[in-house]
Copies of this chain bind each other. A is one copy, B any other.
Amino acid sequence: MRVSELVSRSGVPLATVKYYLREGLLMPGEATSATQARYGDEHLDRLALIKALSNAGLAIPRIRTILHLIEDPTGSRFELLGDVIAQLPPYLPESDDPAPDEYPRAKRVLEKLGQIYDPGFVAVAQLEQALAAAENAGIPMTDERLEAYGDHVRGIAEVDIRLMPRGSAAEQVKYVVLGTILYEPVIAALRRLAHQDFTAHAYRRSTDHPDRQEPS
């Protein structure tokens, strides 16, 4: 297809397509003349991916890193996925390698859950920061909460992994990146709506039965 069709089918404006070409995020089309090139489905796929990452708030250098990892996956699948996830928000202040006891809250939680983790993985620092914020606000992670959260988050992660495409490393990286950032807001919204549902049921019970007596 010509660039005009690429623009209309992708919904990405021409100036942005040109910018992605210049920045090397979008691979060049096949030149058909000095001023024209032909584009294919791989260009549409790439634009959809860049758009999704950009809409999720990722800056161009981080998108470039992810695309590079997709094009040229190195190391084990385990390391690759860790490298990719490290590009996703929330971002933490740069620091030197953590001392072994730098993330005490996160480590306590992960050990209680019995999980394998890489202490240098950015999500450990994210977890520490989030746990410290909750603790400082007076609602620390208690064992009761952790037990429920641990089981249920594991259940969610299990289906995420089960639905991972069986294909190439590139396809899997794409799935992991998008599934991580795009489903976090889905989970957050579902949680808020589940709170509303529980509250609504409690409210209905309290108003539908004004004469209801507690057993004495």
- A residues neighboring B (CB under 8 Å): 48-49, 51-52, 55-56, 76-78, 81-82, 85, 90, 106, 109-110, 115-118, 121, 123-124, 126-127, 129-131, 133-134, 136-139, 141-142, 144-145, 148-161, 163, 175-176, 178-180, 182-204
Once bound together, how far apart are the Cα atoms of A85 and B191, in whole Å? 12
Beta-carbon contact of A78 and B127 below 8 Å: no
Known: A115-B193, A117-B200, A133-B182. 8 other contacts (CB 8 A): A48-B137, A90-B185, A110-B193, A117-B196, A121-B193, A126-B192, A130-B186, A180-B191
Number of copies: 2
Q: Would you give 19 A-B contacts (Cβ < 8 Å), ordered by A? A: A76-B203, A115-B193, A115-B197, A116-B197, A117-B193, A117-B196, A118-B196, A121-B193, A126-B189, A131-B186, A134-B178, A137-B178, A139-B182, A139-B183, A153-B190, A156-B191, A157-B191, A176-B195, A187-B187
Are B196 and A82 closer than 8 Å at their CB atoms?
yes
Instruction: Give bound CA distance, A131 to B183, whole Å.
Output: 8
Query: Are B190 and A81 neighbours in the complex by a CB distance under 8 Å?
Result: no
Q: Within 8 Å CB of A49, what residues of B? A: 137
